[in-house]
Structure 1
Amino acid sequence: MAKIPSSNSPHMNNPNGDPQSTEKLKQAAGYIIGAILVALIGYFGWSYLQNSGMKADTVAADKYAAIETANDELLGQSEGKAEARKKLNADIDALVAEHGNTVYAWQALMIKSRNAVDANDMKTAAEALKKALDIDLKDAGLHSITQLRYATVLLASGDLDAALTQASIDVPVAFEASQQELLGDIYLAKKDNEKAVRAYENAWSLVSKRHEERPFLRLKLENLGISPKPIEPEEQIVDAAAMQQAQVAELGDMDPELEAAIAEMEEAAQ
């Protein structure tokens, strides 16, 4: 992950921004959003399997398990990655060809796209995500993850108009903050700072309501001369009465020998 510059940098509150900082920000922006989306892939994929009620395709499941294992091995390799990635991609393509309408195909394509991004092969990443986007899993969460990830890759590849089109499609409320931040990244790349600020502020407002701190989003705003309001931590409501009752209950259930020992210690202290 890119190192986040300190908010105390002399350029952070400069409305014009430091050119080098702005350029680095543009380059890193897509990867930050991508990381957020990748983190959601496993969770939503698992939730889909648990809640869809579909009958498991054991053949597809076994093939996907083999792909996961091969991918783990690939990530641990220091040499021969190109050949290993080629073999893994062939296995993924075979799974998609045979079981293209399953969540296993979707997950495999997400692996393929992530590896392609790591290899700076945006064309392969975009093609994999486009295929994943065409899979109808009847799950708005999975579809939105794919859509925003696709837009992120299009942004990284320099296809700004296509990225804007994808990122502008409606998403469920849970994804609106990430969508607005991504739109800000796209507008920033298009040198439309006014719209970028508006989108970033929308994203900040949404995460503020969730008490969710996003340091890199704050940095993006500061680099454009905006000082966002601090996000207050979510209040922890403590029911003092309930806590006292629980303590009383615990004391009521205390072992008689332990109670006697405590009493002796209190007398000794006096």
Structure 2
Amino acid sequence: MAKIPSSNSPQMNNPNGEPQSMEKLKQASGYIIGAILLALIGYFGWNYLQNSGMKADTVAADKYAAIEAANDELLGQPEGNAEASKKLNSDIDALVAEHGNTVYAWQALMIKSRNAVDANDMKTALAALKKALKIDLKDAGLHSITQLRYATVLLASGDVDAALTQASIDVPVAFEASQQELLGDIYLAKKDNEKAVRAYENAWSLLSKRHEERPFLRLKLENLGISPKPIEPAEQVVDVEAMQQAQLEGSNEINPELEAAIAEMEAAASEDAAQ
């Protein structure tokens, strides 16, 4: 994720006199927003493929699978690999050139932009995101992810006004909390604390309705002198009788894929507990 250079980092009040903690908070802001957007990339990209009425482009799918595998291998190398990175970008460019209007091209460009940000190559990251914005997938969610990611990288690169323009474009309801938090970061970079507080509070209010806590957003508000109301976790009401009945009715029709997924989750949970 993008690390905002200190010269362009938002300046926040620090009433407790903890400059090192505040610097870490400012650096982490871009990472948190970026992490949220990357999670949405995977979710909405998968749903797009599942819900699209178009026949899957198997050639593009195979090329993207190879790109994803190469990227995973590259990320596993502590020191990185310049040649492997160059080849990966070349493969991404080839996929975009040949299958530029597919979700696979969009996903590949998102990989390219993320890697460029990690390498502090904002020019390459912005160029990749600009191409991704031009892909018309007829999906507002994917477009909003790209838009907010583009605004985040513009902010990280120091182009605050352009970041504000991009972040201010309307997005679907599901993205409004992330949009408002990003706007808060941008207003802080512009040293407009009043608007920053308003945007952060808007984000907190939207998250409260979803019962979704964001600790770093809380810290941003607290460092601006605001103590946000705690967000209560959502109540999980389980109809035990209905669940038992459903289990009885479906006992002879077990979905193998679902069973395998549950087993994998249980194994992961056991591994985490062991660690």
Residues 222 and 66 (structure 1), Cα distance of their counterparts in 2 relative to 1, 3 Å cut: same
Alpha-carbon shift at residue 166 of structure 1 (Å) = 0.4
Cα distance between partner residues in 2 of 1:103 and 1:54: 11
Distance 2:78 2:112 in 1: 18
Superposed displacement of residue 37, structure 1: 0.2
Aligned to 1:186: 186
| Per-residue CA distance 1:161-201 (angstroms, 9 max, x = gap) | 01000000000000000000000011111111111000000
Q: Deviations over 1:129-158 (max 9, x none)?
A: 110011000000000000000100011111
Residue of structure 1 equivalent to 2:210: 210
Aligned partners of 2:238, 2:43: CA distance in 1, in Å? 30
CA distance, structure 1, for counterparts of residue 33 and residue 77 of structure 2: 26
Tell me, yes or no, if structure 1 residue 88 matches structure 2 residue 92. no
Indicate the residue corresponding to 2:267 in structure 1.
Answer: none
Q: Which has the larger radius of gyration?
A: 1
Which is further off, 21-30 or 198-207?
A: 21-30
Native 8 Å contact 1:126 1:154 kept in 2:
yes
Q: Please tell me the root mean square deviation across aligned C-alpha atoms, in Å.
A: 2.5
Deviation at 1:246, TM superposition (A): 6.2
Alignment-mate amino acid for residue 64 of structure 1: Y
Match of 1:8 in 2: none
- Check whether the contact 1:17–1:224 (CA below 8 A) recurs between aligned residues: no
Matched residue, 2:102 = 102
Q: Note if contact 1:30-1:156 (Cα within 8 Å) is conserved in structure 2.
A: yes
> CA separation of 1:217/1:17 partners in 2, compared to 1, >3 Å: closer, same or farther?
farther
| Cα contact 1:44–1:141 (8 A) shared by 2 | yes
Inter-partner Cα distance in structure 2 for 1:37 and 1:125: 15
- Counting only pairs closer than 5 Å after superposition, residues 151-230 of structure 1 correspond to structure 2 as 151-230=151-230
Give CA deviations for 1:3-58 in whole Å, capped at 9, x if unaligned.
Answer: xxxxxxxxx99558655544443332122101100011111111001101111111
Evaluate the alpha carbon distance shift between residue 16 and residue 187 of structure 1 in structure 2; reply closer, same or farther with a 3 A threshold: farther
- Structure 2 segments unaligned to the other structure (5+ residues): 3-11, 249-275
1:111 equivalent in alignment to 2:111: yes
Shift of 1:77: 1.6
Shift of 1:120: 1.3
Alignment identity in percent? Answer: 90
The TM-score with structure 1 as length reference comes to 0.81
Q: Is the 8 A contact 1:17 1:223 kept in 2?
A: no
Q: Which amino acid in the other structure matches residue 189 of structure 1?
A: A
Instruction: Tell me: CA distance 1:55–1:83, structure 2 relative to 1, closer, same or farther (3 Å).
Output: same
Which amino acid in 2 is paired with 1:31? Y
Instruction: Sort the Cα spacing of 1:109 and 1:244 in 2 relative to 1 into closer, same or farther, 3 A.
Output: closer
Q: 1:17 to 1:55 in 2, by over 3 A?
A: farther
Contact 2:14 2:22 in 1 (8 A): no
Alpha-carbon distance in structure 2 between the residues aligned to 1:16 and 1:98: 55
What is the aligned length? 237
Conservation of the 8 A alpha-carbon contact between 2:109 and 2:132: yes
DSSP 3-state at the match of 1:55: coil
Larger mean Cα displacement after TM superposition, 184-193 or 228-237? 228-237
Tell me which residue corresponds to 1:257: none
The residue number in structure 1 matching 2:30 is: 30
The equivalent of 1:235 in structure 2 is 235
Change (3 A) 1:180 1:213: same
**Maintained 8 Å contact 1:16/1:225:** no
Q: Note the residue ranges of structure 1 that are not aligned, 5 or more in a row.
A: 3-11, 251-270
